[in-house]
Homo-oligomer: A and B are copies of this chain.
Amino acid sequence: MSSKAFQDCYPDDFAHCYGCGRNNEQGHHLKSHWDGETTVARFTPQPYHTGGVPGNVYGGLIASLLDCHGAASAAAAACKAQGREMGTAPHLRYVTASLKVDFLRPTPIDGELEVRGEIVEVKPRKVTVELSLSAHGDVCARGHMIAVQLPDSAARKQ
C-alpha cells in the first residue's frame, strides 16, 4: 500500500469534500490507497452513524464511502493508465456520473469498514469501478460506479 492517499494528492481547491477532503474540518476524511491492483480505504463509523435499525450503519454513509472511494480510485486509475503518479500535473479529478448500490445485508456499526475498488475500464475521460464495502470480513454492500473527468478548464480555474 502506498503511503500517500489519493485524496491527499488533490489540489487544495478540490480538497474540501465532506466525505474525503483533507481541508474539510467536519468531514469523514476517507483515505484511499492502492493495494496491488485494487484500491482500499477504511473507515470506522461513529455511534451516531446508525441507521433506522439499531446497531447498523445508515445507508447514506455506505453510499458516501463508496462514492468518495470510487471517484478517488477513478482518478488514481487514470493517472496509472498514463504511467504516472497521482499528484503529478496535470491533476485529474473525477466526479460521479452514476452510482448503483446494492445493500446485501445490514452493515454492523461496531467496527472498521473496508471499502474496496476494482478498476473495470479506463477510457479517456470515463472510468468504471466495481466497489464493495465489508464489515468483519463480510461484504455488506456492492457498488457500481461510472466516474467522469472534470474538464481541464474547470480544474485550472477552481
Given A95-B103, A103-B98, A50 and B18 contact (CB-CB distance below 8 Å): yes
Residues of B within 8 A of A25 (CB): 48
Is the Cβ of B103 less than 8 Å from the Cβ of A96? Answer: yes
Residues of B within 8 A of A96 (CB): 59, 101, 103
Given A67-B60, A98-B102, A103-B98, A51 and B18 contact (CB-CB distance below 8 Å): yes
Query: Which parts of A13-28 form the interface with B (CB within 8 Å)?
Result: 13-21, 24-27
Q: Taking the nearest CB of chain B, how far is it from the CB of A44, in angstroms?
A: 15
In the assembly, what is the distance between CA of A82 and CA of B150, in Å? 47
Contact pick for A60, options B18, B26, B97, CB 8 Å: B18
Query: Which parts of A59-98 form the interface with B (CB within 8 Å)?
Result: 59-61, 63-65, 67-68, 71, 93, 95-98
Query: Interface size (A, Cβ < 8 Å)?
Result: 45
Taking the complex as formed, is A158 at the interface, i.e. its CB lies under 8 A from any CB of chain B? yes
Is the Cβ of B53 less than 8 Å from the Cβ of A154? Answer: yes
Instruction: Name the CB-closest residue of B to A64.
Output: B60
Q: Which of A21, A27, A58 has the most CB of B within 10 A?
A: A58
Given A19-B60, A60-B19, A60-B64, A71 and B52 contact (CB-CB distance below 8 Å): yes
